[in-house]
Amino acid sequence: MQLKPYSASVVPRISQEGIEHLNEKQLNELTAQFQVFYDKAPANYARARGRFFLIYLFLRYTGARVSEVTGINDQADVDFRAGDITMNILKRNNPKRKNTRKIVAVPLQAVNELARYLAQYPEMKGKAFAVSRVNFFTVFRKLCSKAGIPGELAHPHVMRHTRAIELVRAGVPLSIVQQILGHSLLNTTAIYLQFTGAESKQILKEKGLI
């Protein structure tokens, strides 16, 4: 499976200098590292590594928290025809509480990758995503290091911000981004509208306004 290159920035947090983010090269390199991690796995490691790859893939396209993705039941929560994923919304300040459910659409290539994995390892049906968060964090940081991503950005939550910025910059209405992310307040989602001074200047130039 060849994933589409990523072409936007992400914002893990706001600093005095502006929005800190992974650049396009870093995101594409991280995706490539996960691809190789799975595709080149020795036969006795392929089943386990495939689960890590699937979690990464669904983090990238759902904008969900790690706990939300690892809570997906691949038999009950995935519409393989429509590409819709039903997920629990877990708040960071109370991760054990299942507040409500949301439906997030993902590219069919992601769902097809899951289908291929389950066809190859049918014994994993119903538990493809049931991986320890700690184990995923370890793999994520390792592959971030290989991708040359700074340690302060090498955390899975960066994928949530990645998807949010991608949607906003593609012109998706903020209310829809809010729904996808599972934010209860629109003001929380509005942080993704912030840009650094350099980014603002570049956008104005592209629009012919300066």
Provide the pLDDT confidence category of residue 178 given band limits of 50, 70 and 90.
confident
Rounded Cα distance, 185 and 29, in Å = 33
Confidence of residue 14 (pLDDT cuts 50, 70, 90): very low
DSSP class of residue 64?
-
Cβ pair 124, 117 in contact under 8 A: yes
Name residues whose C-beta falls within 8 Å of residue 14's C-beta, 6 or more positions apart in sequence: 20, 191, 194
Tens digits of residue pLDDT in 18-40? 345 677 788 889 999 999 999 99
Q: Please report which confidence band the pLDDT of residue 201 belongs to, taking 50, 70 and 90 as the band edges.
A: low
Residue 17: band (very low, low, confident or very high) from pLDDT cuts 50, 70, 90: very low
Q: Would you give the DSSP letter of residue 37?
A: H
Quote the pTM value.
Answer: 0.80
* All structural domains of the chain: 22-156 (1.10.443.10)
pLDDT tens column, 124-138:
999 999 999 999 999
